Amino acid sequence: MTVSGRVPPVLRRALAPDDPHCYRHCDRPLRARALTARTPGLLLVYACPGGAVSVVTYSEWRNRDPTPTLLAYARTHTLPPRLVRRWDLRTATRHGPELGRGAEAYMGKARPPRPLRAVYWRVYPTRTKDGSVRRLFACARHGRGNVRFFLAPGDAQSPRCPACATGGKKRAR
């Protein structure tokens, strides 16, 4: 049994969605990318192959609120950081019965008993004054723990992130 907040494999499997699809962008299957961050819990980005982000989740198996951890990570990795607003984060407490029999049995053995705490960051597409749609994308070209989140035109397929564009200009000089 883990006490540090780490999410064991049996609970990771219970958290996986049944049929994840990118309904707002391209209707293609979502991929859950686990990020390596200096956090005890499980940090996942659900994005389509084009990089459009459906949701970012952070889960810990302990009683404390995981919101500050995801808030700090998202602000550090979002261009510009003001896109990450506290009210866009939703917290959920997940208990054994809703996660399935295997997870319920595993969680029932924990002493002291504790729920799985999860926080969800979802940025819905927005319309600009000229009527165009902007949505959140993720660029994974910066390493497993250094994903960059940014806004791009909603109909874009794999847009280039501002950090890559800046890096490319610096290398060209």
Mean pLDDT, 10 residues at a time, over the chain (173 residues)?
72 79 72 82 88 90 90 92 91 87 88 88 87 88 80 84 67 34
Q: Is the dihedral of CA 45, 48, 50, 52 positive or negative?
A: negative
Separation CA 78–CA 128 (nearest Å): 19
Please state the domain count of the chain.
1
3 within a domain of the structure (yes/no):
no
Residue 1 belongs to a domain: no
C-beta separation of 142 from 163 below 8 A: yes
Whether 67 is in a domain gets the answer: yes
- pTM, whole model, 2 decimals? 0.84
Give a yes or no: residue 22 inside a domain: yes
The answer to whether position 112 is within a domain reads: yes
CB of 80 within 8 A of CB of 59?
A: no
Q: Is residue 156 part of a domain?
A: yes
Residue 2 lies in a domain: no
pLDDT of residue 24: 65
pLDDT value, residue 58: 94
Short-list 14, 142, 147, CA closest to 76: 147
Show the domain range for 100.
9-172
- Continuous H helices in the chain: 9-15, 67-76, 96-99, 101-108, 162-172
